[in-house]
Every structure is written in structure tokens, then in C-alpha cells.
Amino acid sequence: MSIQTISDLLQIDLDAVRRIVSGLGAIWAVPSSDSDPIVLYHESFPDFIMDTVRCTDQRFVVISSIGHEYLSTRCLHILNQQLVRDICHVPLPAGQELPNRASIGDIEDRLAQYVSPPLRYSSLHVLHHLAKVSVADCSEDIFENLRMFCQGKLLFWLELTCLLGPATLSRLVVQLARLPMEVMNQTEFPSAVSCSVNSRKQYSTLRYRSRHLTRRFIAHCWHSCLVTSYLAHTPTLIAS
């Protein structure tokens, strides 16, 4: 992740992020540009500072649940603010089938143009952060943002994950299965998605659907795989 993306994602002043990153040059390679990624020298360092047994100096211990809670809130906020239908403006000629990702020659250019780095990060990692938050410690902001996401942006998020690639969608389906049931219930997560944590058979069915639906990623198709469709919150959807 770059300095600019950290600033945008966390809503921290860019100069402040630069100062913090520059002051920790012993931990990571400080990039010459705000848009270049920060690279850790030691991949195990995050594990060390989040382990209260190994990191004995309490000044440096990081309580991971607090960080995951804040990142969950920020990711959901960005998804709610930036996700729209057909975010990459993929052309669909009349009379032709919905295109698959492989048939779009300039898909990477479209992703770079229309999907901001914070939105890409949020789409890919929001479920990981949510799964790491203790339900008892969840703030009302998380639940409210998650309700808004489920009611108005879920289909557009699925569309974007398909654009990012089949491997991305399959990984996110696995992460869905790790979300606590309390989170699913309190946010009224659509039943066809939440069923992934209810039984192995249903979970396998959802994974099977995810592999085949990546071939047709436009938001309309997801109407057919969601038992609960939010027609009141999205444009008219056509069942595939």
C-alpha cells in the first residue's frame, strides 16, 4: 500500500503519513514517491508487534482488534461512497451476451481509471477486517455502514470483485464463511450469501455458483443467486 492510499483510506493528512513512514525507515523501505508501495523488510514484523508475549514493550504493542474495527468502518464507508453500477463502464453491444472478464482487452486500464486504490483495497479486504473484529466490541458505526452496504451496494461490490478476477471472488466467498453469525444477523445480510456459514452443502453450492457467475459479472446476473434482492435500492435487475 502506498503513502497516498494510506492517507486516503484512513483520512489522515498526507504530510502526517509521510512523517510517520519516514520515521520508521528501519522497518520498511521508504518509497521515493507517494504512489509507490511501502515494502516491509521483515514480513514477520506485524506478527511480532501484535503478540503481547513476544513484544514485551507495551509502548509498541498493537491491539489488532482495534485496528481491524477502524479499518472495517473505513472500508465500508468507502464502499458505500464510491461503488456504483457498471463502475468500469464496460460496453455492451446490443444483442450480445454479457462479456466475461477475459474478453475485455482494456480491463486493467478501466480498473485503473475508475477504481481508486482505496476502493480496490476496501473491496478486497473488508471481509478480512470484519472477520477479525470481536462482535462484542463492534461499534454501531460498523453495523450501520454494513446495513447500508447490504441494502444498496452489495450487488455492485460483487460486480467489482468479478472484474478483479475469478480468484478474487472465490477468496471473498471463503472469507464470507468466516464472518460471525451475529454480524450476519444484525445486518440482515442477504440469505443466499449468509447461507455460506450455515451448512457445508449450501456453502459448496455458493462456491460453485461463484466460479460460474464470474463469467457473467454485470450486476444484473446476481439477482438470480440472491434469495433476497434489494430491488428498492438498485436499478431494475434482470434475472439471468
Model pLDDT, residue 100: 67
Q: Which cell is 170 given?
A: 472465490
Is residue 233 domain-resident? Answer: no
Is residue 19 domain-resident? Answer: yes
| Domain enclosing residue 198, as ranges | 64-88+101-224
pLDDT tens-digit map of 120-177: 999 999 988 888 887 776 778 888 888 888 888 888 888 888 888 766 666 666 666 5
pLDDT tens-digit map of 56-70: 888 888 888 888 888
- In a 3-state reduction of DSSP, which class is residue 123? helix
- Alpha-carbon distance 131 to 232, whole Å? 28
Is residue 59 domain-resident? Answer: no
Annotate 61-115 with DSSP letters as a single string: ---HHHHHHHHHHHHHHHHHHH--TTTT-----TTPPPPPGGG-TTHHHHHHHHS
pTM recorded for the entire structure: 0.72
Is residue 192 domain-resident? Answer: yes
Q: What is the mean pLDDT of residues 38-44?
A: 86
Is residue 154 domain-resident? Answer: yes
pLDDT tens-digit map of 10-23: 999 999 999 999 98
Is residue 125 domain-resident? Answer: yes
Task: Specify whether 69 is located in the same domain as 175.
Answer: yes
Task: Specify whether 44 is located in the same domain as 122.
Answer: no
Number of domains composing the chain: 2
Task: Specify whether 75 is located in the same domain as 40.
Answer: no
Task: Specify whether 118 is located in the same domain as 199.
Answer: yes
Is residue 240 domain-resident? Answer: no
- In a 3-state reduction of DSSP, which class is residue 223? helix
Task: Specify whether 73 is located in the same domain as 136.
Answer: yes
Between helices 64-82 and 140-152, what is the axis angle to 10°? 30
40, β-bridge pairs = 28
Is residue 96 domain-resident? Answer: no
